Structure 1
Amino acid sequence: MTVATERVEVRPPATGDPAPRKKGSALSRFWPQYLAISPFYLLFAVFGLFPILFSLFISFHDWDGVGKMTWVGLSQYVYLVGDPRFWNAVGNTFIIWFLSTVPMLFLALLLAFTLHQNIRFKGLYRVAFFLPNVTSMVAMAIVFGSVFSDSFGLVNSALTALHLDSVPWLTSDWGIKVTISVMVIWRWTGYNAIIFLAGLQAISEDVYDAAKVDGAPAWRIFSQITMPLLRPVILFAVITSTIGGLGLFTEPQVLLGDAGGPNEAGMTMVLYQYNQAFTNFDFGYGSAIGWALFIISGVFAIINWRLISERNENGRFSMRRTRVHH
């Protein structure tokens, strides 16, 4: 019997041909890359993810931080709903947020438009306006406490010099709220002004030139070009200011102490949470307050986002774009 054989010639791969891909899992192939980025995820898991999940866990327990945990279920949240001190803190927080955020964003937008013009020493002004944001808030709270002191404060001295009645800034309900709001405005106006200025500088000059060629007046250019194109930046500033305002802690704590001033007029949600967790050592209730703050901040941020954005034809939310008509 004869067996026919066929000779097969195997040629080496030509120069430039792609090398054959190695088989194996993605972990075995890219382990150096995963190893390089692993420190961030390890630190986030230990100092970020674990505390978040653990706070949710202990919010269902009665725990003083030392002894044995006692499961109480939703009792902490039920008590939270009927706690008048918590709702007083919520009301104080929203009042301070309104008194500070609205003027702050308006002043920041005004400063941004001013710095966007061709003025001298523009870089110096930017540094000066941003400087309060990087200044120690503890030190500035002490300074503001002296400036707004009821007896020897500079503000009351100026009012007295103008033959006006002095104001109990640090002992009355509204005086405390106004003082804290002024501190927030002083600290964050320059920061938001720099954010708005970056948004203004991102708008192309060609858009303005085209509107001027069409004969559009200045007020229409501002209302139908500048503000619509600046809307995403305004949305960012409003949401971040909302989250920061609802998480207010340093200003009232240093200025008024843990008690939040007379009648707890300066007691904010975070300061109340701090008192329950680290003064009364009720970590379960403090964690429940923290999660309530998270829900309130999220709902309020969504409301702000929906108010600033609008629906498009597909029912989705988007930033408004407006044409200029003259």
Structure 2
Amino acid sequence: MHNNNQKNKLLTTVYLLPTVVILLVFMIIPIIYTFYLSFFDWNLIAPNKNFVGLENYITIFTDAVNRKVLMNTFFYIILLLILNFIVPYFIAIIVQFFIGKMKGPYKVIFFIPSIFSLVVGAMLFSWIMNPVSGPLADVMKMIGLSIPNWTNSGGMAIVIVCLITNWKVFGYNFVLLLTGLGAIPKNLIDAAKIDRIPKWRVIWNIVLPLNKSIALYVWQIVKLNRTPCIKKLQRL
């Protein structure tokens, strides 16, 4: 028995070793080395590196351009979190536990934009939101209003970029969350109904904890979807 345990531990170590080596070489060591380089003034070419201590960090948080980049990125991430995670989660809960019927059409309607390219979505939104000749501008002109040139407005441009990204991935996140909610054992929900537990407590104490794995997966998707637009935000 003891020999079998040792053999299992050895096999586990052998199986995990390639992954550990890859993580060390391509992730952990580069991160540590990058942190080390952050204390130097170096152009990556010169043979000598000048130690500057915390000067690089001070510059990041005191420079006006860097502060604007950080604020734009933070604002974008918060909006993306709300639009791509919280809103589809909220709608999925309503469809699953308050509507109950016709779930199929909801999935189709919300998922249709996911089959289109993000480039198509960007072109579509650019046309709709065109402040001069877009259809939304024409409608606003009829009621005596106008659309600001959002491409030159930092805050509004971030909102539009978030809407374009949300239009593309909202349906995918919604379907995943709705599927996860549908996999929760129905007997638990029925038992809570018999005990006359309020629906909000059922959702908070039973549904959300049991659906945590799917929620974390969607959270990771939202985090990955934010990266393609970061460089755009830096120019706003």
- Give me the TM-score of the superposition, normalised by structure 2: 0.72
The Cα of 1:142 is off from its aligned counterpart by 4.4
- Write the deviation string for residues 201-256 of structure 1: whole angstroms up to 9, x where unpaired: 24332233234334x3xxx63211123223334795599379829x94423645x7
Q: Name 1:119's counterpart in structure 2.
A: 102
2:206 aligned to which of 219, 224, 229: 229
Per the alignment, do residues 139 and 48 of structure 1 end up closer, same or farther by CA in structure 2, a change over 3 Å counting? farther
Shifted more, 174-183 versus 107-116: the winner is 107-116
- Partner residue, 1:307: none
Contact 2:121 2:168 in 1 (8 A): no
Q: Does 1:259 align with 2:235?
A: yes
Residues 65-104 of structure 1 mapped to structure 2, 5 A cutoff: 65-68=44-47, 69-104=49-84
1:166 positional shift: 2.5
**In structure 1, distance between residues paired with 2:119 and 2:22:** 28
Kept in 2: contact 1:150–1:170 (CA 8 A)? no
Q: 2:29 aligns with which of 36, 46, 50?
A: 50
Residue pair 1:132, 1:187 contacting (<8 A) in 2 also: yes
**What pairs with 1:292-307 in structure 2 (closer than 5 Å)?**
none
Structure 2 vs 1, CA of residues 169 and 103 (structure 1 numbering), >3 Å: closer, same or farther? same
More off after superposition, 164-173 vs 131-140:
131-140
Distance between the aligned counterparts of 2:57 and 2:26, measured in 1? 25
Q: Which one of the candidate residues 121, 144, 147 is aligned to 2:125?
A: 144
In structure 1, what is the Cα distance between the partners aligned to 2:138 and 2:217?
35
Aligned equivalents of 1:242 and 1:92: distance in 2? 20
Amino acid at match of 2:208: R
**Structure 1 residue identity aligned to 2:171:** G
Seen in structure 2, the aligned counterparts of structure 1 residues 154 and 169 have a Cα distance that, compared at 3 Å, is farther
> Is 1:250 aligned with 2:228?
yes
Larger gyration radius, structure 1 or structure 2 = 1
Q: Distance in 2 between the 1:138 and 1:61 partners?
A: 40
CA distance in 2 between counterparts of 1:154 and 1:253 reads 29
Q: Tell whether the 8 Å contact from 1:60 to 1:75 is kept in structure 2 after alignment.
A: yes
Q: Which runs of 5+ in 2 are unaligned?
A: none
* 2:155 alignment partner in structure 1: 174
Shift of 1:179: 0.7
In the alignment, which residue of structure 1 is the partner of 2:136? 155
> Structure 1-normalised TM-score?
0.55
Higher share in helix: 2
Pairing 1:197–2:178 present: yes
1:180–1:252 contact (8 Å) kept in structure 2: no
Q: Which residue of 2 aligns with 1:279?
A: none
Alpha-carbon contact 2:79-2:162 (below 8 Å) kept:
yes
Alpha-carbon distance between aligned partners in 2 of 1:190 and 1:177, rounded to the nearest angstrom: 21
State how far apart, in whole Å, the 1-side matches of 2:227 and 2:126 are. 16
For 1:185 and 1:142, locate their aligned partners in 2 and report how far apart those are by CA, in whole Å.
Answer: 15
CA RMSD of aligned residues (A): 4.0
8 A Cα contact 2:96 2:181, kept in partner? no
Residue 81 of structure 2 aligns to a residue in which SS? helix
Distance 1:237 1:96 in 2: 20
Q: Is there any run of 5+ residues in structure 1 with no aligned partner, and where?
A: 1-17, 261-326
